[in-house]
Structure formats: structure tokens, C-alpha cells
Amino acid sequence: MSTAVRNRRIVLAARPQGEPKPADFRLESEILPLPRKGQVLLRNRWLSLDPYMRGRMNAGRSYARPLEIGETFVGATVAQVVESLHPEWSPGDWVLAFGGWQDYAIVEGDALQRRLDPEALPVTTALGVYGMPGFTAYAGLHEIGKPKPGETLVVAAASGPVGATVGQIARLHGARAIGIAGGEAKVAHVRDELGFDVALDHRAPDFAERLAAAAPDGVDVYFENVGGKVLDAVLPLLNDFARIPVCGLVAHYNEAELPAGPDRVPQLMGLILSRHLTVRGFIQTDFIGLYPEFLREMGGWLREGRIRYREDVVDGLENAPEGLIGLLRGDNFGKRIVRIED
């Protein structure tokens, strides 16, 4: 029999101009209605923080609809079923859900993404390497990047869940992986723990020269995660028929307007033409048909220790806003997740 549950949730308080600030978020408390037939009541345990959340704070057209002012922030969660009015789910089940920035969530049982087995892998991996970011890496390489043995791949945000997975999968395909990250500790992790062939710091004053020296045979796959000066440094190194899966541009997400300067579109289009480049933007859901194959193959790689990952834990739902603000600045070291507590 259901009892009323008090729920804390974080809503969009204002649309940010540039970098989000704490006042753009608001913590609220409410009594939840009772779940109806077909629904489940979830206790969110872990919340994923992801760069795309910045885009949801803006008004205007994108690949997903913007958050309304006063609406609970969206986000993937690892949760436990508290009460189920759906035949497939039982109290205690661990699930991957789109539970949002809140302690509890009432969702349609049919909308739950998948059941999690805490004995098989740590449940938090479902938010990172064994979830949406890992799938993004897998699908973007499978469908667009297509690294071949002996080729050179470059990826930035290389200690984060997408970049780390991209470089390691590329190596499993026999390619050389160059990872780019911000700061010494991340660079050492990418090289020594994740096993990239080369790791470079994008903050180094001679970063472009170092990248050119690290890719003497040019670049065949540039997995675009950031844009900015990393893209500038990679462009002259691209080989004929190079592939660029355009996955994200996190260096630009907080920009309120286009940067000043010369119009570089003709130069970029000229390069796409003369070097026969494939540049393709994608959202991971474009390739959702690959998801079962991803779960099977990545599950094996994780259990065999062939793919490694790092997590970065923020404690407490109330600290999620600072966690997202920091993620967009590069403060995270690994997949950023929030441990939700009462």
C-alpha cells in the first residue's frame, strides 16, 4: 500500500547567459502523487551529469526540446524500484531510468531503459562507459569513424566517458590513439591508465606543435568532442579521406554569441573538398539499433579489463548544479555522477 513520499527536485530557475550560475537552478520539495497503473515509483540513487544538459537550459530549436522554466532537470539515473504497478518490475529491482534531478521519480514502467545486475558490473557504469556515453563512442566509431589498423585517431576530452572509450576502442581495432586532455593529471591517466599511445595537454602553449609531432603520418579519424583550438590544431593534419564524427562541441556550449574574427567557413569547406573529408554530425540515438550489440561487446570488454574507466563522484543532489557548472569548465576527472542522498 502506497504512502505519501516527500521528494526534493532541482528545477530550471532561469535561462543562463553564458556560463550557468547557481541562481539558474532551484531546489524544491513536494509531496509526490501516488503511482498509477502501469507506473513505478523509483528511488534515484545515482544521477548522471552530462554536457548536453547545458543545451537544454537554452530556449530555441535543438535536437531535443528545451526545459521550461520551473521544470525538473532531465537526466539519466540509476534507481531502485520502491513500488511497482507494472508487471515487469518489482520492489528492489535496479534499473536505468530517465529519472531526473530528484530523489524519487514516478515513471511509466514501459519507459524504463533496462534492468541492471549489480553482481555483473557496478551499477554506476550504466551512466558512463556501459551506458549512453560509452554507446556514443561505440556507435560514432562503428558508423562514422571506422578506424582501421595502423591509422591515427585523435580525440579530446579523453579522460571523460566518451573520449576515454573512443580511444580504447580505436586501439582494439588496431589504430593509434592520441588523447587530448586538460592538465597533467588527466594526461597521465589517459596515457598510463587508459593506454592511449600518446596523451597531450591542450593547455600547453605549444599544443599545436606537439600534436603535429605526435601525428607524423597525419590524422585519419578526428572524433570531435570539443571544437575550439583542438579542432584548429587538428585541421591541418587531416589526411585525405579522413573521417570526423561530430559528437560534441563542449568548448562552445557556454558561448552566448559567435566569436569575432575572419569568416573561416570558406577555408573549412575548401579543406572538406580538397581532402575528401567525411564530416558527419550524429546524436547517439541515431544508431540505437546497435545498442544490443554494444551491450554484448562492451560488457565483454569490461569484464575482461580491456576497456577501463574512471568515475568522478559529487555527493548530494543539492550539489548537482555546481557539478554541472564545473563539468562545463573541465573540473571533472572521469564520468561525473551524483550520489543522491536524503
Interface positions with ligand NAP (CB under 6 A): 50-52, 133, 136, 156-157, 159-163, 181-182, 186, 202, 225-226, 228, 230, 247-251, 282-284, 327, 330, 332, 336
Q: Give the C-alpha distances (Å, rounded to integers) separating 278 from 57, 185, 230, 281.
A: 31, 33, 18, 10
Measured from the CB atom, the residue of 28 and 185 that comes closer to ligand NAP is 185
Shortest distance (Å) from residue 143 CB to ligand NAP: 12
Nearer to ligand NAP, 41 or 325 (CB): 325
Q: Which residue is nearest to ligand NAP (CB)?
A: 160
Grid cell 589517459 is found at 190
Q: How many CA atoms lie within 13 A of 143 on its CB side?
A: 23
If the CB atoms of residues 41 and 157 are measured against ligand NAP, the closer one turns out to be: 157
CB of 274 to ligand NAP, least distance (A): 27
In this complex, which beta carbon is closest to ligand NAP, that of residue 145 or of residue 161? 161
Task: Give the contacts of 61 (CB within 8 A, at least 6 positions apart).
Answer: none
Place of cell 570531435: 224
User: 3-state class of 190 per DSSP?
Assistant: helix
Short-list 252, 224, 220, 61, CA closest to 150 = 220
Specify the residue, 247 or 320, whose C-beta has the smaller distance to ligand NAP: 247
**Least distance CB 257 / ligand NAP (angstroms):** 16
Q: CA torsion sign, 332 to 52 to 320 to 23?
A: positive
Helix (H, G, I), strand (E, B) or coil at 199: strand
Q: How far is the CB of 84 from ligand NAP (least distance, A)?
A: 30
Q: How many Å apart are CA 58 and CA 279, to the nearest integer?
A: 26
Q: How far is the CB of 120 from ligand NAP (least distance, A)?
A: 23
